[in-house]
Structure 1
Amino acid sequence: MISLIICSRDFYQLEQVKKNVQATIGIPYEIIAIDNSQGQYGICEAYNIGAFRAKYEYLCFMHEDLKFHTQDWGAIVANTLADPDVGVLGVAGGTYQAKAPAGWTGGGADTLRINVLHTTKHSVAQYDHWNPDAEKTAEVATLDGLWLCCRKAVWQEFPFDSEHFPHFHFYDIDFCSRVQTKYKNLVTFELLIEHFSMGTYGADWLHNAVNYYKRWKDRLPFGVITVDQTEIKKRQLVSFQHIVRMMLDFRVSAGDVVYSLGQCLALDFGNRDTWWLVKQHLKKATK
């Protein structure tokens, strides 16, 4: 009933998640693991290959560093995706996609909907849970790619964009953005997943953030909450400034920095925080 598609780079993690799925899913399934141990595929390409091979109606695109803590979670997925209005189902997302080069958290803390247990080698387990309306499922704009489920027909209509996102970052935000033009994206609070990573942010993430913004700026912002024009502009500026601060910590192209600073100045030319960022960029550029 469910095809689980994994872009695999770690044989040990893959074997662990296979055992965990077998013990917890509770319904018929298959695992399609695309061997990417040599880095020969981008994640969009790997996911599209896996989805094309899938024999079941429901697809789960998932990282291999996961552990399911909810018994019979497969039925929850199947029952949720049976609704023809549902597009993508995940466990972490945001109700508002800001008009900025930002991920699903970029709309602000009040927009987050999340139910994930995070554990890394260097930290104790951290339960990230935010469900202010105590919902079983919350409608969101975009979702984190650690675990994304949809009907095969939805993927066929909106396959992953390997042309514009050939590597790793922002494939999930782009996918959800396209699906959201026709369907509802949801975060489920009925099942718990443990993720053995806190995510990675660096120069590639920042470059793809700018790439995503340029592709979607004419539609952004969008979401399931109402934000007035003054607040839209405020959130946009804050998001752009946050991105520039991150850029200053990594070796990114000067073009991406200048473009982002230009957007900040266009939003509020006299903003002191923006001019401070301009000065920091010039200092770094002249070293």
Structure 2
Amino acid sequence: MISIVICSANANDLRLVSRNIEQTIGVPFEIISFDNSDGKKGICELYNIGRNNAKYDIICFMHEDIRIDTSDWGKLVLDKFAGKAEIGVVGVAGGGYKSLTPSGWYCLEYKSVDRYFQNLLQGFKLDDKDEILAYHNPYDQKISEVICVDGLWFCARKEILDEKPFDEDLLKGFHGYDIDFCLNIYGKHKIVVVYDVLMKHASEGNFNSSWLNEILKVHRKWTKSLPLTISDISDMELYDTEKAALKNLVEQMIEWKYSFYQIHRMLLTVGKSGKMPLRLFFKGYVHLVEQKLGIRK
């Protein structure tokens, strides 16, 4: 039995995904949906209301622009949790490295095969691209442990959500909630990606300054705990990954018209990490000055 929570911005998408769930889930369920087409409430607030109203022990949070293709997927989800008290979150896409440098659920500059794990059909609304099967299971596993999952679709135990709700005081928009929630429970409960529930996600996501503003909030909250990785890698590899990611972020923030002060504040947050040497902050700061002065290396 599964409670499904959806924050809706499009009534037709909600109608289609509700019909899809009914046809494919294969177990008793309820859909708790919210019409948020006016965007007046943040997704954390609505997800917490949904959690409070849910009557089943497993809650699935999902975007409405999804079509699930696997029959009886609800049975597969419940089986992942059954008799496995250590598993707290199940998703279909997730990252094995959460960078200190502000980022989404995976870090592009991390070169290990553990960078991401996923199985989904990825559609594109913003780019003129054909749908692709985004599959990456480097160890041919049935379940892969990760640091964070993608918020497009994930299931969690209600008892965990009751103890660790979404941070609606911090996050007022529609981004960062998945990373923040996972970091809040990481180390206490296992967060996993599964490969036997296949779905299509119609949108690739919109990564812009609105998205980054929420990510920066999440990183100010968790910087002393980052980076986190499931891999056994050297300190030098960690440093090189973060240095590359930080330089790329500085350049992206400049392109998105962030002020010198805003980028400076981001770098100060990175410098507060207890896991990385302070020289990483100075490398980032030098790169910022070079970019502002037009010095290219």
**Other-structure match for 1:115:** 119
Which one of 174, 182, 199 corresponds to residue 168 of structure 1? 174
* Contact 1:240–1:260 (Cα < 8 Å) also in 2: no
For residues 270 and 215 of structure 1, the distance between their equivalents in structure 2, rounded to whole angstroms, comes to: 21
Cα distance change of structure 1 residues 93 and 280 upon mapping to structure 2, 3 Å threshold: same
Cα distance change of structure 1 residues 278 and 261 upon mapping to structure 2, 3 Å threshold: farther
The residue identity in structure 2 corresponding to 1:44 is C
Cα distance change of structure 1 residues 281 and 200 upon mapping to structure 2, 3 Å threshold: farther
Cα distance change of structure 1 residues 278 and 36 upon mapping to structure 2, 3 Å threshold: same
Deviation at 1:274, TM superposition (A): 6.8
Cα distance change of structure 1 residues 58 and 280 upon mapping to structure 2, 3 Å threshold: same
Residue 141 in structure 1 maps to residue 159 in structure 2: no
Cα distance change of structure 1 residues 282 and 46 upon mapping to structure 2, 3 Å threshold: farther
Gapped regions of structure 2 (runs ≥ 5) = 272-276
The residue identity in structure 1 corresponding to 2:43 is I
* Contact 1:60–1:147 (Cα < 8 Å) also in 2: yes
Deviation at 1:114, TM superposition (A): 1.1
Deviations 1:64-117 (A, max 9, x none): 000001111001111112221001111111111122212221162522111111
The residue identity in structure 2 corresponding to 1:114 is Q
For residues 133 and 110 of structure 2, the distance between their equivalents in structure 1, rounded to whole angstroms, comes to: 19
Gapped regions of structure 1 (runs ≥ 5) = none
The residue identity in structure 2 corresponding to 1:86 is I
**Other-structure match for 1:55:** 55
The residue identity in structure 1 corresponding to 2:26 is G
The residue identity in structure 2 corresponding to 1:10 is N
* Contact 1:98–1:220 (Cα < 8 Å) also in 2: yes
For residues 269 and 10 of structure 1, the distance between their equivalents in structure 2, rounded to whole angstroms, comes to: 43
The residue identity in structure 1 corresponding to 2:102 is P
| 1:155-234 alignment runs, 5 A limit | 155-234=161-240
Cα distance change of structure 1 residues 51 and 279 upon mapping to structure 2, 3 Å threshold: same
Deviation at 1:266, TM superposition (A): 4.8
**Other-structure match for 1:267:** 279
For residues 75 and 165 of structure 2, the distance between their equivalents in structure 1, rounded to whole angstroms, comes to: 24
The residue identity in structure 2 corresponding to 1:90 is G
Cα distance change of structure 1 residues 231 and 156 upon mapping to structure 2, 3 Å threshold: same
* Contact 2:267–2:281 (Cα < 8 Å) also in 1: no
Cα distance change of structure 1 residues 281 and 46 upon mapping to structure 2, 3 Å threshold: farther
Deviation at 1:268, TM superposition (A): 4.8
**Other-structure match for 1:281:** 292
Secondary structure, in 3 states, of the residue corresponding to 1:123? coil
Secondary structure, in 3 states, of the residue corresponding to 1:218? helix
Secondary structure, in 3 states, of the residue corresponding to 1:67? strand
Of 232-241 and 73-82, the range deviating more from structure 2: 232-241
* Contact 2:118–2:193 (Cα < 8 Å) also in 1: yes
For residues 86 and 279 of structure 1, the distance between their equivalents in structure 2, rounded to whole angstroms, comes to: 46
Deviation at 1:243, TM superposition (A): 1.6
Deviation at 1:220, TM superposition (A): 0.9
The residue identity in structure 2 corresponding to 1:30 is E
**Other-structure match for 2:42:** 42
The residue identity in structure 2 corresponding to 1:219 is S
User: For this pair of structures, how many residues does the alignment match?
Assistant: 282
The residue identity in structure 2 corresponding to 1:12 is N
For residues 59 and 268 of structure 1, the distance between their equivalents in structure 2, rounded to whole angstroms, comes to: 40
**Other-structure match for 1:26:** 26
Q: Which stretches of structure 1, 4 residues or more, deviate above 4 A after TM superposition?
A: 261-266, 268-271, 273-277
For residues 192 and 238 of structure 2, the distance between their equivalents in structure 1, rounded to whole angstroms, comes to: 23
Secondary structure, in 3 states, of the residue corresponding to 2:220? helix
Deviations 1:222-247 (A, max 9, x none): 23222222122111112212222221
TM-score (norm 1): 0.91
